[in-house]
């Protein structure tokens, strides 16, 4: 069974001028397609498909310094976005000025390869920091992308062989506010260190230091992603079944708790767990998390002392009438695990 994953490697800065130039050409094509498509809609009521658009860009690659299939990829992406945003015209891609679009160049399957220890595309060699050993992989679609700091990356979809998990355990995960996630074994994915970076961010914002603000934003984003990758990887490696509460982040984000909820990166964690579990043959289920905070995971009673409602969010530790003292989140995670086991046994959500 072949699966795919996306690898991201940083391109060495000496290629930045060339990539910026290519990105300008991409923007030119995008804007041309945008004008063409919107005019067809306005004047003829016709929504051009990617195949309708191909003849218009065909043969322009050489002059623009782009791979011919990149032109097709741009049209394809354009039509996808036009459908997604349900618009008759999309934003122009800007090559300069304050609202400059971040550089982007799509690459079709087969149009980039690993050659002489470098990424080869459209007649150019690009040196990268090869943190994955790219030579081992077969490239599929890819893209060159610039980040807010002007660094360029090569993102490539590669084929990987599925590896079944060696794990035998089962674990429940409580997605919380204070700690981003807690497992039934007491491991925590913490969001604390982002607070420290956020303080630094506040300072930079007050000082109007835009470069530093961008740098810190990028740092927070990368750090969060790394942490979630590591946390989910370790869980998938050691377990045969993983259960999470079915928290719905949307209603909560409308309240004051929004910041913490977004910080926690629940969606990212769920998504990563889901695909890593699928990949490794690990059972992954969302279970109803109602009452998981209030019920004692030891005796099963709905304790008088357990945290309830908004006020209960502050209670981190509590003691049940049965005499057991609980960490609030670990207790919830244990209840989620129990609910997951019952669900697997009966096949319907229960709690």
Report the interface residues with Zn ion, using CB under 5 A.
296, 298-299, 320, 322
CB of 311 to Zn ion, least distance (A): 21
Q: Which is nearer to Zn ion, 227 or 329 (CB)?
A: 329
- Left (φ > 0), alpha (ψ -120 to 50) or beta: where does 44 sit? alpha
CB of 302 to Zn ion, least distance (A): 9
Task: Quote the CA–CA distance of 185 and 176 in Å, as a whole number.
Answer: 15
Could you give the angle at the alpha carbon of 27 between the alpha carbons of 23 and 29, nearest 5°? 115
Q: Which strands sit side by side in the sheet containing 112-115, from one edge to the other?
A: 112-115, 118-121, 124-126
Task: Quote the CA–CA distance of 150 and 20 in Å, as a whole number.
Answer: 9
141 and 210 Cβ atoms separated by less than 8 Å: no
Residue 152: name the closest of 103, 224, 113 by CA: 103
Task: Quote the CA–CA distance of 42 and 32 in Å, as a whole number.
Answer: 15
At 66 the three-state DSSP class reads: coil
Q: Which is nearer to Zn ion, 216 or 320 (CB)?
A: 320
CB of 295 to Zn ion, least distance (A): 8
Cα 280 from chain centroid?
A: 19
CB of 174 to Zn ion, least distance (A): 17
CB of 182 to Zn ion, least distance (A): 19
- Left (φ > 0), alpha (ψ -120 to 50) or beta: where does 281 sit? left
Task: Quote the CA–CA distance of 115 and 118 in Å, as a whole number.
Answer: 5
Q: Which is nearer to Zn ion, 158 or 298 (CB)?
A: 298
The number of residues making up the chain comes to 351
CB of 281 to Zn ion, least distance (A): 35
Neighbours of 339 (CB within 10 A): 24
Q: Which is nearer to Zn ion, 80 or 304 (CB)?
A: 304
CB of 331 to Zn ion, least distance (A): 9
Q: Which is nearer to Zn ion, 48 or 320 (CB)?
A: 320
151 and 301 Cβ atoms separated by less than 8 Å: no
Task: Quote the CA–CA distance of 254 and 329 in Å, as a whole number.
Answer: 23
DSSP letter at 134 equals: G
Query: Which residues on adjacent β-strands are paired with residue 2?
Result: 161
CB of 323 to Zn ion, least distance (A): 7
Query: Which residues on adjacent β-strands are paired with residue 56?
Result: none
Q: Which is nearer to Zn ion, 71 or 320 (CB)?
A: 320
Q: Which is nearer to Zn ion, 279 or 334 (CB)?
A: 334
CB of 168 to Zn ion, least distance (A): 28
228 and 272 Cβ atoms separated by less than 8 Å: yes
Q: Which is nearer to Zn ion, 180 or 320 (CB)?
A: 320
Q: Which is nearer to Zn ion, 49 or 304 (CB)?
A: 304
Cα 50 from chain centroid?
A: 27
């Amino acid at each position: 069974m072949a699966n795919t994953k996306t690898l991201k490697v940083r391109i060495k800065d000496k290629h930045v001028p060339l990539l910026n130039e290519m990105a300008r050409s991409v923007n030119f094509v995008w804007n041309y397609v945008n004008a063409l498509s919107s005019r067809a809609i306005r004047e003829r009521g016709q929504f051009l498909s990617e195949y309708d658009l191909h003849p218009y860009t065909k043969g322009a690659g050489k002059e623009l310094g782009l791979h011919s299939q990149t032109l097709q990829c741009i049209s394809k992406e354009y039509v996808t976005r036009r459908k997604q945003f349900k618009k008759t015209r999309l934003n122009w891609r800007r090559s300069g000025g304050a609202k400059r679009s971040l550089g982007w160049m799509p690459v079709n399957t087969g149009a980039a390869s690993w050659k002489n220890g470098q990424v080869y595309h459209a007649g150019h060699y690009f040196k990268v920091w090869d943190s994955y050993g790219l030579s081992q992989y077969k490239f599929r679609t890819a893209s060159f992308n610039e980040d807010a700091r002007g660094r360029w990356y090569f993102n490539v979809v590669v084929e990987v062989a599925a590896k079944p998990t060696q794990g035998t355990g089962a674990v429940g995960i409580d997605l919380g506010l204070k700690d981003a996630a807690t497992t039934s074994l007491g491991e925590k994915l913490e969001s604390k260190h982002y607070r420290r970076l956020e303080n630094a961010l506040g300072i930079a914002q007050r000082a109007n230091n835009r470069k530093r603000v961008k740098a810190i934003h990028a740092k927070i984003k990368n750090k969060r992603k790394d942490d979630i990758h590591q946390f989910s990887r370790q869980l998938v490696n050691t377990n045969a079944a993983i259960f999470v509460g079915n928290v719905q982040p949307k209603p909560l984000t409308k309240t004051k708790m929004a910041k913490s909820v977004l910080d926690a990166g629940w969606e990212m964690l769920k998504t990563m767990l889901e695909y890593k579990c699928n990949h490794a043959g690990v059972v992954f289920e969302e279970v109803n998390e109602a009452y998981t905070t209030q019920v004692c995971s030891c005796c099963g009673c709905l304790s008088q002392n357990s945290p309830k409602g908004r006020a209960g969010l502050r209670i981190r530790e509590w003691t049940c009438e049965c005499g057991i003292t609980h960490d609030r989140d670990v207790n919830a995670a244990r209840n989620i695990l129990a609910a997951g086991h019952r669900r697997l046994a009966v096949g319907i959500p229960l709690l």
